Chain A
Amino acid sequence: MPSQASSPTYATAKGFCITSAFWMMVATFMGLLGATELIAPDLLENVGWLVFGRVRPIHINLVLFGFVTPGLLGAAFYYLPRLLRTDLYSEKLGVITVLIWNLSLVSTVVSLSAGYSQGREYAEMIWPVDMLVVVMFLLVLYNLIMTVRQRREPVLYVSVWYACAAIVLTSATYCLGNVIWRPNTGALVGIPDAILLWFYGHNIFGLLLTPLALGVTYYVIPKACKAPIYSHTLSLIGFWSLLVVYTHIGTHHLLQAPVPTWLKVISIVDSVGMVIPVMVVLINIWYTAKGRLGEIHADVGAKFVFTGTIMYFFVSIQGSMMALPQVQRVTHFNNWVVGHAHVGVLGFSGMIALGGLYYVLPKLAGKPLFSKFLADFQYWMVLIGVSGFTIVLTIAGLIQGNAWLNGETVYRVLPEVHLYYVLRASLGLMIFTSALLGFYNIIRTLYFNTGEFSS
């Protein structure tokens, strides 16, 4: 029952959708390039700005801040005004935010490829780029809070909680994790630096991607099913327990490093405890969709989102298991973890970002998707790609981890994992191709949409 005074332009939502679709192409290309360099290390011999060690952080930061986050925000800037029964506080500010966002992504690519890096995983960007990132998060936050303030709907829906929390908490942890009070290095010294870094790095997933993705899920699934949320109590428990539990567990990245034992114990216990926030949310969502899977299957956006929830189940259960020291003896330092990261970021939050995009795009454009077939095709390519990544990288990781435990050197194991690197790159090619199709489909839907192209 929207009651906007004027018909909204959704300029901000559209801007974030296009940002996400565009940077998904660049980000997945960088991943493909890095994967290819691992099987053909002299392919770009002595092209310094594309050396593997610079391509990898570009890939990761573009996936996080270029593809997934803007995709989830694209949906959020559509659902927030509707859930709050008002207009976005300022579309103009929103569009400026999108521009700054893209500027920060361009600066990320340029600075990292030129070798300006702070060398801390997920916190590589140098201080001036950090400042752009902080500004863009604060602008989103301001627009969001002002929209909430002018709302005409007294009750705040779950998606609104998640969106607000994600933006406010990430604004804080980004500053903290990037040590922005030390512009030259962006780092602490020694072991405290490792503890802070993994607190922050883990919360990029826990306090940014996960809540934004759950916000989209809580919006899309009930809408597509035309059913109310199964339980308000579960929504509440899921929300607060996520904030409490997820934030404690970053140190499970450091179980084999000399950090205080009590901190390791906290991280292990709470990693296992993650089963609570995860299952509470999933039970809530899955019971909402119970008996209504046909409706979800009929909507390609909802299909992406629902698949994302299944991936969330797998990645979280796997993550809890990986925090156990006995498991980590095998999985740490090898491709198992890379597989895990891809299920989490591409399978869970990436799938949901794409689902959010495809769900809101027809509403933003006022017309159906340019091609439902292309969107469906992309769904299968991403699903096969990310499942393939998981299988291939898990096998490679098990080979590496067990060989190392058995006393084989890293060098000796390289030929044993070569095949899996080749398979990984081929799957990467699928993901990259799907990003190209997705970009084409999204642009055609928004701007050159002549109506239903195929059904």
Chain B
Amino acid sequence: MKMTPLAILVGSLVLLMTIVFVVVIMPWFTTRDEAPSDIFRARTAAEEAGRATYIANGCVYCHSQSIRTIDWGIGAERIAQAGDYIADRPILLGSQRTGPDLSQEGGEHPDDWHMAHFVNPRYARPLSIMPAFAFLGKDDINTLTAYVQSLGLKDADNRLKRQTFWKEESILAYEAGPVENVDWLHHQVPEGWRNIPNPYPTSEAGLARGHKIYQDFCLGCHGPIGDGMGPAQPYIYPPPLNFTTLKGRGVSGGILYYQIMNGITGTAMPYFKKDLESEKIWEVGNYVAVYFINETDADAEPKGIDAAYEP
């Protein structure tokens, strides 16, 4: 084959056009009129403004918006569908998960948690490596929060409605005073759970592990001494719980476990069941009970048969 300038230029351009037709234009014909998915809705002006901030600051480089069949994390309840993205210009699927996927982040947390987290992510999540975004200013953080709260669209709206409802309830309880607040908190736990003591004995090793979990997950809000004065406190309302208010008010290992596992929707207290396995939840609960409440029911009856590892 003789390689003339014309052969190279025209040949490569013709090849390119053919291939563009096959791998770009043909799929465009089949995917451009995708029907809206069951959760699709249009975004509001504030959400669009927040999306622009999301793009300008390169959030897409660390957060995907693409839930796969093999995922377990946030949003794993719903696998991504083409119809979820039909208003996304550009689409923000992302290519890295330095941070979690955000496809279904909307309504996972109330707005005040997001404010603390955007001002400095380590206020809410001590191990986070996300940059602080206080430099954006309050207005941009608010629109950015509006966008993040819209992720998941109609599903996010449902979750956010739940957050808003329980936010009001939790504020009423908090403002009624510590006795009523603690009582309200206990009653968010199903009765069976309330009556379960921590079935495992307190041990030095268990407390040390609980201490580490506390530092990695809880310290930002509840503070190093459990008084609810962590760095996130100024941004959060109702404020993080001061654990000493639980003393002598009927707290049990079961209540602590359930609240850590399931969170308290409406407040900034997230659920930790995706982050922490059972043993870790019991141990951080007992750490709080021993050091901050000074009242633990660990190893109390009824506890059933002793676990095999106990000495």
Hey, which bits of chain A sit against chain B, CB under 8 A? 37-39, 41-42, 45-48, 51-54, 56-57, 115-121, 145, 148-149, 156, 160-161, 164-165, 168-169, 172-173, 176, 185-197, 199, 207, 236, 240, 243-244, 247-248, 250-251, 253-254, 256-260, 263, 266-267, 329, 332-334, 337-338, 400, 404-405, 407-412, 414-415
List 16 A-B residue pairs with CB atoms under 8 Å apart, sorted by A's residue number.
A41-B129, A53-B57, A56-B58, A115-B56, A116-B56, A149-B5, A190-B31, A190-B34, A191-B31, A194-B91, A195-B24, A236-B3, A247-B16, A266-B23, A410-B100, A414-B128
A115-B57 contact, Cβ under 8 Å, with A45-B120, A337-B96, A411-B127:
yes
B233-283 at interface with A (beta carbon < 8 Å): 274-275
**Structural contact, B88 and A41, CB atoms closer than 8 A:** no
The interface bits of chain B over 146-157 (1 if a CB of A lies within 8 angstroms of the residue's CB, else 0) are 000000000000
Q: Which of B30, B32, B131 gathers most chain A CB within 10 Å? A: B131
Known: A244-B15, A256-B70. 13 other contacts (CB 8 A): A118-B90, A145-B9, A161-B8, A164-B5, A188-B90, A190-B31, A191-B31, A248-B19, A256-B66, A257-B66, A260-B30, A409-B73, A409-B274
Q: Does B130 belong to the interface (CB within 8 Å)?
A: yes
Q: A160 to B100, alpha carbons, bound, how many Å?
A: 46
Q: Known: A54-B58, A117-B58, A411-B275. Is A196-B82 also a contact (CB below 8 A)?
A: no
Judged by a CB distance under 8 angstroms, whether B87 is at the interface is yes
Please name all residues of chain A whose beta carbon is closer than 8 Å to the beta carbon of B30 when the two chains form the complex: 260
How far does the alpha carbon of A118 sit from the alpha carbon of B55 in the complex, in Å? 7
Contacts of B11 in A (CB 8 A): 240
Asked if residues B122 and A57 are in contact (CB atoms below 8 Å), the reply is no
Return chain A residues, CB-CB under 8 Å to B69: 256
In the bound complex, what is the Cα–Cα distance between A407 and B277 (angstroms)? 11
> Quick one: which of B274-296 are within 8 Å of A by CB?
274-275
Q: Say how far A185's CB is from chain B's closest CB, in angstroms.
A: 5
A-B Cβ contacts below 8 A, count: 237
Query: Is A257 touching B96 in the complex (CB atoms < 8 A)?
Result: no
| B71 interface contact, C-beta 8 A | yes
Query: Taking A117-B55, A190-B85, A256-B66 as contacts, is the C-beta distance between A169 and B95 under 8 angstroms?
Result: no
**Could you tell me how many residues of chain B have their Cβ less than 8 Å away from some Cβ of chain A?**
77
Describe B's contact surface by its main secondary structure.
Answer: loop
Is the beta-carbon distance between B97 and A194 smaller than 8 angstroms?
Answer: no
Question: Hey, which chain A residues are within 8 Å of B193, CB to CB?
Answer: none
Q: With A and B bound together, what is the CA distance between A295 and B56 in angstroms?
A: 50
The contact of B89 among A172, A189, A263, A338, by CB within 8 Å, is A189
Known: A187-B90, A259-B31, A263-B27. A46 touches B135 (CB 8 A): yes
Which of A51, A145, A186 makes the CB contact (< 8 A) with B58? A51
Measured between beta carbons, the chain B residues less than 8 angstroms from A197 are 90-91
* Contact with A260, one of B31, B60, B68, B275 (Cβ below 8 angstroms): B31
A191 in contact with B85 given A42-B120, A337-B96 (CB within 8 Å): yes
